[in-house]
Amino acid sequence: MSTYAIGDLHGCYVEFIALLEQLNFDPAQDTLWLVGDLINRGPGSLDCLREVKALGNSVRCVLGNHDFHLLVVARGGGQLKKYDTLDDILAAPDREGLLDWLQSQPLAVYQDDALMAHAGVLPFWSAQQTVSLSQEVQVALSSEHSGAFLTQLFGNHPDRFVDDLEGIDRLRCIVNVLTRMRFIDAQGRLDFAAKEGLDSAPKGFYPWFQYPRNDDLKLLFGHWAALEGQTPGAQVNVSAIDTGCVWGGSLTALNLETGERTSVPSQQAGGR
């Protein structure tokens, strides 16, 4: 019985299946933690979504920014972007069931001192607070007003979480932290412009994982392919597991019990 955390799939279905085969993954005994961004940019977005949903209770998954993008396009009036590969999902006969499943997923998973979120966790958020904030978003996603929530979801403001935020500003900020965060300043303010490696940090901003925490949580995140699975200068127990499969890198699984990493090479051209 093993638990594997796998980095951003981004529609890399062939590599996903190859990785599961290399792990000898048994859904009757093993568990997958998927760090979000299951879909988009790669050629097998529909197959990835169907496969993960079919794995049922053997999977624990969090939402990433591309997963939210699909939900906003499908149910919040959003528009497709130039390099999106979501048409197959939007036209699929089982579309509504797949979207319902995706929309029911959390933004954070916490178990046995391991906390997973797509982009990471603010250094002053405890595991319990992170899960509670994730649940606030889940309530909005499952409410009868979820379409209105998705319509208002995207935006860069507010760019700093404070406890007295309310309404859509609070929910948007929670989503941005857990699905879009890379660099923050000492007050926890997010920068949304820099998306490359550590040398792209704006003045006064540092990777979120370089700030100390008051606990010894094991943090798992994806989202930041430019890190290539490395976290230089980390002040916390943190594992980056997005190794850029859709960009020509690899798809990586981390065994949560042993710390061993297993990767399969990308079969993508690694362009956009």
Q: Which two tokens stand for residue 21?
A: 């085969």
Model's pTM, two decimal places?
0.96
Express each pLDDT in 83-110 by its tens digit. Answer: 999 999 999 999 999 999 999 999 999 9
Helices 127-142 and 167-180 sit at what angle, rounded to 10 degrees?
Answer: 120
Contacts of 156 (CB under 8 A, 6+ apart): 176, 190, 192
CA distance 106 to 14: 25
CA distance 104 to 38: 14
pLDDT tops 60 at residue 45 = yes
pLDDT at 271: 47
**Domains defined along the chain, listed by start:** 3-265 (3.60.21.10)
Express each pLDDT in 205-238 by its tens digit. Answer: 999 999 999 999 999 999 999 999 999 999 999 9
Express each pLDDT in 143-189 by its tens digit. Answer: 999 999 999 999 999 999 999 999 999 999 999 999 999 999 999 99
pLDDT tops 80 at residue 270 = no
pLDDT at 192: 96
